[in-house]
A and B are shown apart, each in its own frame.
Chain A
């Protein structure tokens, strides 16, 4: 009974705050509406007794949304709700696509014969889920993680406009780096 109520509050809350992301004018409000939507989504994960994953969603999404709000305000047209702008484009096309995808997924949910199990709940559902998802694919996941990390580092290295030759001179012989920002190590 209570889990039913909490589930529907979370489900409806996630959708409503998700809609709010595209209805509000301010990029700050849009970002934190999205954060609220993630919180509701985390609620449904907690309902599945996946405490670790649920709290991880809360933890990571707070940080991600705070980093995202910096970029939203930096790059979007309407930073503080001062100039009207719309977050939606190609209204008819996207409505058709969204409706179609929703209908397909909903029929899928209703038509698929979901597997049932008469085994008792595992003591630690998070571990069981992790093993089911990637037990045999751990090596792939580790390599994938390394690749993603290397890509991030490479992107930052390529994107930064100051390299080591700017900092330590053409021969890399400067004792102290020449940096525009004061403080830090070695200077």
Chain B
């Protein structure tokens, strides 16, 4: 069902991910432009790319007494982790790697954000950066457990941690149909793990940019790009996990994978524009008092169904 690509698949993966991330950033910029009366959609479409170019030539700032090793290490770790998280995500019938523990691999890669955001915030030796770093740890403690239960539920339904088996188990009924709670929690976690949209408090404007307050030039470009890639990776992984992978009529499988990924990304962008900032202390209580029991119940339902059939 899912074939491993030869070595050049690994080179193709960052390109595809970057294109999806750039499309999402452009779409978000256009919506922002329309809402706030900017210079028009034509300028907004290219805005993310022009901003990236600007950061590329911008001179790096450095704060006094910064721990450069930790700060740069954090930003540099986030970028490959965001790309490698998609190593196991199949595009239609092809995946770069079809690991037997694909879901654990994805989880481990996105957990790198825990360390990376804190390191970036800490390393700058700036109060705002520190506030942002600690905010992300609090957010991580809130979102990670319901997120893991959502991942486990999908693995439970397929009886395997291999992504190919999860896709195969969704023929003909997609997991989103009988695991809607896990799917919703997963989408919330994608927003939270990429500290984006309603969960952008770790880099929030109220703390002058939080963890990324002191980033400039290439460092900021790497960090911001990694954040978009992380969002894209998370959205793309929802497709094999809950939306049947490349399954669909008429069109080829890889196109269905792309379309579904774009649909998930569009949904996330829509959520960002509809829902105000959700502070981590509020989400902490919601996550532990509501989401964990609800995801456990969802897992119980799935377990009973798997045992009964």
Contact = CB atoms under 8 A, between A and B. Distances in A.
Nearest to A49: B100
Given A66-B118, A66-B137, A59 B108 contact: yes
Interface class of chain B by DSSP: helix
B285 A184 contact: yes
Contact of A183 (B108, B112, B115, B281): B281
A185 B290 contact: yes
Contact of A55 (B73, B101, B281): B101
B306 interface: no
B33 interface: no
Contacts, number: 73
B289 A185 contact: yes
A65 B114 CA distance: 10
Interface band, chain B: 20 to 34
B119 to A, nearest CB: 7
B154 to A, nearest CB: 16
B137 A51 contact: no
Given A28-B67, A29-B70, A62-B115, A184 B104 contact: no
B111 A32 contact: no
A66 B138 CA distance: 11
Interface in A57-108: 58-59, 62-63, 65-67, 69-70, 80-81
A67 B145 CA distance: 14
Contacts of A69: 118
A69 B114 CA distance: 11
A110 interface: no
Interface in B279-298: 279, 281-282, 284-286, 289-290
Interface string B118-145: 1100110100000000100100110010
A41 interface: no
Contacts of B279: 183
A14 interface: no
B281 A181 contact: yes
A127 B100 CA distance: 12
Interface residues of A, number: 26
Contacts of B125: 80
B188 interface: no
A28 B100 CA distance: 34
B202 to A, nearest CB: 13
B216 interface: no
Contacts of A181: 281
A28 B104 contact: no
Interface string B30-68: 000000000000000000000000000000000000010
Contacts of B108: 55-56, 58-59, 62
Contact of B284 (A29, A32, A184): A184
A95 B134 CA distance: 37
A182 B73 CA distance: 35
Contact of A59 (B69, B100, B111, B282): B111
B203 interface: no
Nearest to A124: B100
Contacts of B122: 28
A165 interface: no
Contacts of A185: 285-286, 289-290
Nearest to B134: A70
B204 to A, nearest CB: 15
A129 to B, nearest CB: 14
A145 to B, nearest CB: 16
Given A29-B69, A182-B281, 12 more contacts: A28-B70, A29-B67, A52-B100, A52-B161, A55-B105, A56-B108, A59-B111, A66-B140, A80-B125, A181-B281, A182-B282, A184-B286
Interface of B: 67, 69-70, 73, 99-101, 104-105, 107-108, 111-112, 114-115, 118-119, 122-123, 125, 134, 137, 140-141, 144, 161, 279, 281-282, 284-286, 289-290
Top 4 A-B residue pairs of the complex, sorted by shortest distance between their CB atoms: A183-B282, A184-B285, A59-B108, A66-B114
